[in-house]
Chains A and B, each alone.
Chain A
Amino acid sequence: MKKFLLLCFSFVFVLTAWAQERVISGKVTAQEDASALPGVNVVLKGTTNGTVTDADGNFKLNIPSAGGALVFSFIGLQTNEVVIGDRSVIDVALGLDIQQLTEVVVTAQGITRDQKSLGYAQTTITSTLLANKPETDVARALQGRTPGLQILNSSGMAGSSSKISIRGNSSITGINSPLWVVNGVPISTDQNDINGQGQNNFVDGNIAPSRFLDIDPNNIESISVLRGLSATTLYGSQGRNGVILVTTKTGSSKGSKNKFDGSLTQSYFTVKAVIPEFQNKWANGFDGAYGEFYSNWGNVMDGTPQRFNHPYYEHRLMFPEFPEFQTAAATLLPGQTIPGYIPTPAPNNVKDFFRTGSSATTSLSLGASSEYGSLNFSYSHLNETGFVQHNGVKRDNISLGGTAKLTNRLTLTNVFNFARTDFQTPPTAAGDASNTFGGGPSIFANLFFTPRNIDLMNWPYEDKVTKGSVYYRNTKGITNPRWIEQNARQTSVTNRFFSSTNFNYKLADWINVSYRLGLDTYSDFQTYYNNKSGDAGFSANLTPGAYRTATGISTIQDHSVLVNLNKDISSDLNISGVLGYNYRQNDFRQEGLESLGQVVFGLQEHRNFTSTLPRTWRGDQLNYQTKSAIQGVFVDANLGYKNMLYVGLAARNDWASVLEKDNRSQFYPSGSIAFLPTAAFPDFASAVLDFLKIRAAYGSSANFGSPYNTRPYLTLNTQTRVDGTGNVVSSALPSLLANPNLKPELLTEAEFGIEAGMFDNKLKLNASYYNRVAKDQIIQRTLDYSTGFSSTFINAGSISNKGIELSVTVTPIKSNNWRWDITGNYTKNVSKVESLPDGSKSILVAGFSDLGNFAIEGQPLNVIQGTYVPKAPDGQLLINSTGSYEISSDVAVIADPNPKWFGSLLTNLSYKSISFGMQWDYVSGGQIFSYSAATMVGRGVSRDLQDFDPTLPLILPGVIEQKDGSGNVTGYTPNTIPLTTAGVFFNNTIVGGSADDRGVYDASRIRFREVSLSYTLPQAWVSKLKLTGINISAVGNNLWFSAINAPKYARADFDRTASGSGNGAGFDYLGGPSARRYGVNVKINF
């Protein structure tokens, strides 16, 4: 019967075809990259007469003779209407309509939904916005692209870590970074650092990369950012900080559009450090007198000889080739012939420490498809060299993905990814303007305040015989930064394999069952070393030479079984849903050794050291294992009514292995509703208002904490010490205060939003308000040691984050050739510690008990407490009897690192195939405790000080307390005690030991984040080369920034955070400068 009907239809078609008089043909291409577009609908306007384009984008359509117009349409692209006139060939280029509100988007668990049906905020970032980025770290490429995301970094060094937070931090001491899901499978984005003592301790610099560095940005098809809890419920507790869904090109279900296509991309970027600008007026010394200090408050460099030896005088015998080193102090004898050392500026001593780095990426992707399935392959190679020697990242990514229809009902989709990341850097431990405070070496801790007369780059840095450090301080108080650069190193080589395997079985048209296996395993081999003969300035444990190696092996298995339903119950009502089960197991094991006492200089092998232990000199164990598992059952149901009302309900129950049996289960529901008045009441829509959606959502999630917090144990140290009797003494110590009653914490969030399209979609608006509360938090509470313990995990406290996210896109110009888009993103997040455990003053989040981030009831999370300069009742600062600021003996809140708001402005102007884009970022408010800013001033090297004379006295503004005989304050008198310039700028800054609040700066900053110019070569030229497209672009990143209220020439970049990917905020400990990048990309499609 069917066959009969088909025959009849064909007959009719043939008959009608004969009735036509004209044949129109042509080719449809993508405006974006001139590639052929298959499957585009081509319809004669006002009729049902139409066709679709073939694999090469070509179409042929018979039409009646009279006029008319053709309508070209395709999901995700702008619909184009072309008047036929008397043409017989019509070629059309269709532009992307990425913000089109009928976009199909990926949501939790890989479920694709129509954007307009979502009851919560969601942002999709497509490959065009991610490609061509000079940043090799995919996280940094997301900067400013969507509201709600704050992205900070530890420095501009190649491979340094990044920190993403979505809708603020919800957890005081737990993990706040979002979940990354690649092709439907969650992957590990931890930061392992054998030198950093875990995530929350930043003393050794947090230089180890976060493991999303293994993702190749070139292979990304799209990124979907789920911010709210109602969007992430299905991911369980791991989705509580938001989810970043990455679909790779090889894992894209779209498959290849053509039978075969490929692309080759080559990029090359230049990487430069942003460093301070210096004064070159006066020399090393103090109070206007020359001397070998760390500080630079010496004599004015006017050619006057000083009664001092040359800074390298003590090394003179070793370096006879430097006659100037022979200069001895002038004697007082009459008729002296040796004039003494004349300090002269070395203006580029710091600048020349840096080199120009580069970042080059080559990537190839190939794809093919047939009726049985598709196959995609991609390979990319990154070679980045940082702006200091021995810093770089090499990365190779190979990915193979494909879909095969095994039977009519069974489909297999599989993606394999292999990444090898090879990273190295000299150490960058946190510095406090006088070496490092954690005892590790750092190339940056003493670099930026190198005295202006010390010719760092032209004077030797190593002893010719011992290879030890040689520098100007003859007590060896500072190790030469160049020596550290050459003789100390951290490396990490990661081999990572992650894959997703998905079997999908179609039970019926409306129901299918799938099983998905995600496997993410990597081995990360890290080393740390410093050769012997470094000077003081870092721990005496390390100076005899140290070598540390550790291998971490991480395996995550993730099993999911999903039942998907999608059924139209009536023509108006559609129901879709998912029922799922998920089991996820994390295993991590690290094996490591540390050796101290190098025997032969320069050889980094454990056999070349006098002692080897399985822990670091600080006592941290290098060998450990953790194992945890979570299983969950979840359900998601969505009801759509007449394309105008959508209701979604979801719930999940998790069981976690990290908690005791009675406490390990947690149920959490969510629901959302979206209503489209413009669809419900067609009259509501007007020439002004095209589209309107009002949405509301409630979501919840849980957090189960980390393993091994519920049962007590003793820490063992089998080699605590060798005592005076020569015995090796072992000891055991009760450590963690276990809490067997630890329960899951519950997060809830209400979200409201509005989305609108106006003026023919030339103005689009997407706004959200959210209120998230994390109750009964699992807090690692730092305890007063008199409790007997240093910390415990408890359930207590509540944090709220309320915020507004706003995205406005204006398209002032939109014509065939011209298009101009301007997008503004605005994020405001207000965090508040609603309550703390009974009797808690404050909880230490990160840092130290007298200078760190704290949770304090009623205050925003992460406020900084430290010492401060007490004030008189009228607010004037108190001055002590020596003319310097008083210092409080207690600590108080001195800064709030949370920005008031932040936003980005993106603009893109395109003319035909040329497009020009810019991105500006602005952060308003927030405060930072910055050694980068304070040190440049405190040590007397910043150009900000050019106009001061180091010898002139200054008086600090403030008042001095007047007291009567019994010590009562009777009044205040203005300070009249003069200090030297150094006395003001050194002694009364944090560098010279003044109160901590002297180091706090307003972190407001503006940044020219990115500029790009892109050109797609005309198709006609490209075709001659048998190619399908060539695109060339030039991109600049981080070209200019200004911290508006900080010392101008210190060039401190407040996007950097000393806590790396940890929870701390608002601290800057001279971790390394940020980077400026610019270069070109060429992409060839074939």
Chain B
Amino acid sequence: MKNIFKKIGIFFLLLVTACDLDGDLENPNQVSVTGADVDLIMNNIQLNFADFFHSAAGSVDQLVRMQAMTGGYRYQTAFNPSSLNNLWDLAYRNVLISNQIMQPLAAAKGLTTHVAVGKILEAYTYLTLVDLFGDVPQAEALQAASGNFNPAATTGSNVYAYAIQLLTDARTELAKTGSDAGGALGRDIFYGGSRANWTALANSLELKAWINISMIPSRAAEANAKIAGFVNLSTGAAVANLVDTEAENFRYKYGTATVPAGSRHPWYEQYYGISPGTAGGYLNNYYLHEVFGKWDPADPVNVDKVVQDPRWRYYFYRQVGSIDVNESKFDPNAIFCGAPPPHYTAWGGGVFCVFEPGFFGRDHGDGSGTPPDGAAMTCAGAYPAGGKIDLNPITNLKFNSSAKRGDGTNGAGIQPIFMSWFTDFTRAELMARAGQPAIAKTILATAIGNSITQIKNIVTAGGQTLTVGVTASTTNYQAAVATLYDAASIKMDVIGKEYWISLFGNGIEAYNMYRRTSAPRNLQPTVQISSDPYFRSMVYPAIFANLNSSAVQKNALVSNKVFWDNNPDNLN
């Protein structure tokens, strides 16, 4: 009997030691960390940076009335915390964490362009997060590997300081030459590896940051001294390498492939459906109205008196030439305009629901359901969405044609992240602020001219040109602006409005300017009167507010200003 147990015992011992359990720990499906490739990670940073920009710009462009705010009647209900999760994901879990992995790998190999580009994109991301949310995790962010699952938010001013340092460090890397510069950045979706262009961008972003900081009285002197390092505050001339030529435009360029999804401009995917008439989403009526041209303030509905802006035919595509509800091509129920609410009459902006010739977007804060109006709505056009230019006359043509997949440049649009005319408008703003209205006026004309020319060039490069009969005159338009400028008591209002018009596709700069200068004034109010304050910053994403114990969601019923927002104005 003992013998039996002994035999059994030995047998079991053999069994327990026989099986190898070590072979299953490495994931056979994925690339191991030791196989990391800096170029592949850099691709991820650049692509997700473009998506982050789009997501951030798309969140705030409703606040500055570029796209229509339709998620609710009030700011509080229009911005759902969970709708911001994706933005947070793109920023932290893609751009920033990938940078954290990529930069040391690249530095170890002496790849200075990789390091610098990583730092610049990291800086832009942090600056934008502060501009949108205020205090955000930075010092404690991205530390999950050392056990911090609840990173506390860093004050906005400290995040700004960190970002400015990143830009400084990036310039140091870019200043290296010869063998110190290391290997080139082979796949650079933005600048093709041009170190000079990246340097210009680093300077422009730092300038942008200091202008915001300069709004804080206690830091104005420090900021102005920094600003003077980029722009001569007496003449308005650039004194550093800024993004101020067409070649330096910082933009992401989309492709035209159906697969993989996301290759096309997201607005194109939205407005140019596979079947005609299935456009979705709305542009803001007021933006359509203001971009269309310079209206006679005394007669804001008379099309004949408009000095047309040459850009509107690039920005928008009207599917209908006139809002005629008896037109059978779209459902008569699609466009239902009641009487404008009384406070719209008081506002006097001249637009409610629809306006001729055939513009149909949505009013600010119209949270009502979606009627079957996809065949009638005004779509995003050739710039920046890569859609169709509007070649239709503004005479009363009932129906143009429905937007559909394949139209225009088939989605090969751009993200205007930082264009050269942004620098021009910034210089004009600085001159107006410095009490130099005449210089500001000159720079303003340059800015408008550059904007129109370069937008036209981008669309032309895509193979679309305006025909003779429908091309508005840039000179006439500049003259109309000059007249308004001369008449304006606050010059910044005119500069701001023109900058805002030029910023289609980039709500971030418009949102910053609006909070900084209150320009453009007199934006379209929400359709329903509400006592809620304007969103001086966004509510935090649900993923941050609900899963991070260091986070406290903002009270959307009070004004939550970011650190540099010192503007006492009650924005609407």
Contacts and interface: CB of A to CB of B under 8 A. Distances in A.
A435 B432 CA distance: 51
A579 B8 contact: yes
B101 interface: yes
A450 to B, nearest CB: 16
B372 A474 contact: yes
Given A610-B258, A713-B30, A732-B31, A476 B277 contact: yes
Given A541-B261, A544-B258, A714 B36 contact: yes
A597 B258 contact: yes
Contact of A732 (B37, B92, B326): B37
A602 interface: no
Interface stretch (A264-272, A715-723, A912-920): A715-723
A617 interface: yes
Interface string A644-657: 00000000000111
A785 interface: yes
A596 B274 CA distance: 14
Nearest to B528: A882
B33 A713 contact: yes
B553 A889 contact: yes
Nearest to A786: B137
Contacts of B32: 711, 713-714
B262 interface: yes
B162 interface: no
B328 A579 contact: no
B510 interface: no
Contact of B371 (A293, A656, A784, A887): A293
Contact of B331 (A474, A787, A789): A474
Interface in A719-738: 719-727, 729-735, 737
A732 B44 contact: yes
Interface string A729-770: 111111101000000000000000000000000000000000
Nearest to B79: A889
B280 A732 contact: no
B108 interface: no
A336 interface: no
Interface residues of A, number: 114
A653 to B, nearest CB: 9
B165 to A, nearest CB: 19
Interface stretch (A658-666, A814-822, A1065-1073): A658-666
A329 B324 CA distance: 14
Contacts of B144: 737, 783, 787-789, 792
Contact of B15 (A475, A513, A581, A732): A581
Given A540-B269, A785-B543, A788-B100, A657 B23 contact: yes
A711 B21 contact: no
Contact of B136 (A540, A628, A633, A786): A786
Contacts of B172: none
B546 A841 contact: yes
Interface in B105-147: 136-137, 141-145
A787 B19 contact: no
Nearest to B413: A724
B21 A629 contact: yes
Contact of B275 (A535, A583, A967): A535
B29 interface: yes
A909 interface: no
A849 B258 contact: no
A155 interface: no
Contact of A734 (B98, B375, B542): B98
Contacts of B81: 850, 889-890
Contact of A729 (B29, B80, B187, B548): B187
Contact of B149 (A656, A714, A837): A837
B217 interface: no
B359 to A, nearest CB: 19
Nearest to A716: B31
A309 B35 CA distance: 63
A477 interface: yes
A715 B374 contact: no
Contacts of A781: 149
A848 B258 contact: no
Interface string A827-859: 000000000010111101000111100000000
Given A543-B274, A544-B274, A881-B530, A714 B30 contact: yes
Contacts of B442: none
Contact of A477 (B27, B74, B370): B370
A922 interface: no
Contacts of B558: 967
Contacts of B369: 286, 293-295, 992
Contacts of A260: none
A535 B275 CA distance: 8
A291 B325 CA distance: 14
A889 B556 contact: yes
A731 B43 contact: yes
A985 B279 CA distance: 28
B89 interface: yes
Interface stretch (B221-229, B233-241, B249-257, B392-400): B249-257
Contact of A891 (B26, B36, B142, B542): B542
Contacts of A730: 40, 43
A713 B26 CA distance: 9
By size class, the interface of chain B is 35 or more
Contacts of A658: 24-25
B22 interface: yes
A720 B42 CA distance: 13
Nearest to B129: A786
A613 B145 CA distance: 33
Contact of A713 (B27, B145, B252): B27
Interface string B304-330: 000000000000000000000010101
Contacts of B91: 785
Which among A331, A475, A597 has the greatest number of chain B C-beta atoms within 10 A? Answer: A475
A735 B30 contact: yes
Nearest to A844: B547
A475 to B, nearest CB: 4
Interface string B509-545: 0000000000000000000111100000001001111
B43 A611 contact: no
Which among B32, B330, B545 has the greatest number of chain A C-beta atoms within 10 A? Answer: B545
Given A721-B260, A841-B547, A850-B81, A889 B275 contact: no
A993 interface: yes
Interface in B202-250: none
A536 B101 contact: no
Interface in A1009-1048: none
Which among A633, A733, A842, A848 has the greatest number of chain B C-beta atoms within 10 A? Answer: A733
Given A328-B328, A474-B277, A712-B33, A733 B542 contact: no
Interface string A31-45: 000000000000000
Contacts of B254: 723-724
A788 B141 contact: yes
Given A475-B278, A788-B144, A292 B331 contact: yes
A844 B82 CA distance: 14
B40 A731 contact: yes
Given A308-B333, A882-B73, A849 B542 contact: yes
B386 to A, nearest CB: 9
A473 interface: yes
A150 interface: no
B21 A664 contact: yes
Given A561-B15, A785-B92, A841-B549, A711 B27 contact: yes
Nearest to A789: B144
A477 B372 contact: yes
Given A331-B326, A711-B25, A715-B31, 4 more contacts: A708-B27, A710-B25, A737-B145, A786-B548
11 contacts: A474-B372, A540-B274, A611-B258, A613-B259, A720-B260, A721-B255, A724-B253, A731-B40, A840-B549, A850-B542, A881-B530
5 tightest Cβ-Cβ pairs between the two chains A and B = A724-B253, A731-B44, A475-B374, A787-B144, A784-B548
